[in-house]
Structure 1
Amino acid sequence: MSIAALDPGRDKCGFAVLDEDGKVLSQRVIETHNLIAEITTAKATYGFSRLIMGNGTTSKEARQRLSEVPALEILIRDEYRTTEMAKGEYWKANPPKGWRRLLPVTMQVPPVPVDDFVAVILGRRYLKESSEHGAE
């Protein structure tokens, strides 16, 4: 069983699909105006029925729009510190090259949006939470 995760934004959203072990099946940044089409297509491809969504600024609007997607349970989760964590994950996946490798990554700004990494973090947080509560 897979789950989807979304970091909603005004112009773009981070989106990821993960399996039950937290392995990333799909990860990308999508344009907010394509949200319903992208989620619907991904749902048909990966068969998830649960979407974990960050509670950021545009989460209410995103939730209203996503209510159009049939058979999709939406769970809201705290986004606290996910952007900082996502920058670290970006640099792990894309180590700096050339002179940039001499600078600490904490002093660098990723050259691309990291919203998709935020979505992965939200999804993995949820899976960890679920396994901890399921193990009690």
Structure 2
Amino acid sequence: MSRRVLAIDPGREKCGVAVLASDGRVLVQRVVTTAELEVAVGTLIREYEPTVIMGNGTTSAAAKARVEELGSEVILVDEYRTTDAAKCAYWEAHPPRGWQRFVPRGMLVPPVPVDDFVAVILAQRFLEKR
């Protein structure tokens, strides 16, 4: 098993991807369109030679098949409540400013997709269980 983990949060329009080292350091974190998933993941697989995991939610069966066509086995993992955790992680990384800092973070909506944070959380959970 690889010392690095590539996590994918599949979606209809966009996907979160993240590569984490075995110690939990985030090496790559980004959101890609679903149309460019194979290209983005293929590049990361060649560069990092990771274990590939994917959230078992929206469109996971189709995305898993597309990634496995690249020659890598994909392990499906539970993504229960990862979106909520990702919103919290977003606000930790990008604290609210101005009037928003007075609003409870649970009531704020991130201004950008958080699929990449979901991918990081999936990888962190996977590494914790290893």
TM-score above 0.5: yes
Amino acid at match of 2:92: K
Q: Report the counterpart of residue 113 of structure 1 in structure 2.
A: 113
The range that moved more, 61-70 or 5-14, is 61-70
Q: Which residue of 2 aligns with 1:4?
A: 6
Shift, 1:99, TM fit: 0.8
Which position in structure 2 is the counterpart of 1:134? none
SS in 1 for 2:27: strand
Whole-angstrom CA distance in 1 between matches of 2:65 and 2:74: 10
Q: Deviation at 1:79?
A: 0.7
Deviations 1:33-78 (A, max 9, x none): 0111101111122222x111000120000011112112x1211011
RMSD after superposition: 0.8
TM-score by length of 1: 0.91
Q: Where does the alignment leave 5 or more consecutive residues of structure 2 unmatched?
A: none
Report the Cα distance in structure 1 between the residues aligned to 2:16 and 2:69, rounded to whole angstroms. Answer: 19
Aligned identity (percent) is: 53
Give every structure 1 segment of 4 or more consecutive aligned residues whose post-TM-superposition deviation is greater than 3 Å.
Answer: none
> In the alignment, does 2:35 pair up with 1:30?
no
- Superposed, which structure 2 residues align to 1:10-89 within 5 Å? 10-48=12-50, 50-70=51-71, 72-89=72-89
Q: Find the residue that maps to 1:75 and give its secondary structure.
A: strand
Where 2:66 maps in the other structure, the secondary structure is helix
TM-score normalized by structure 2? 0.95
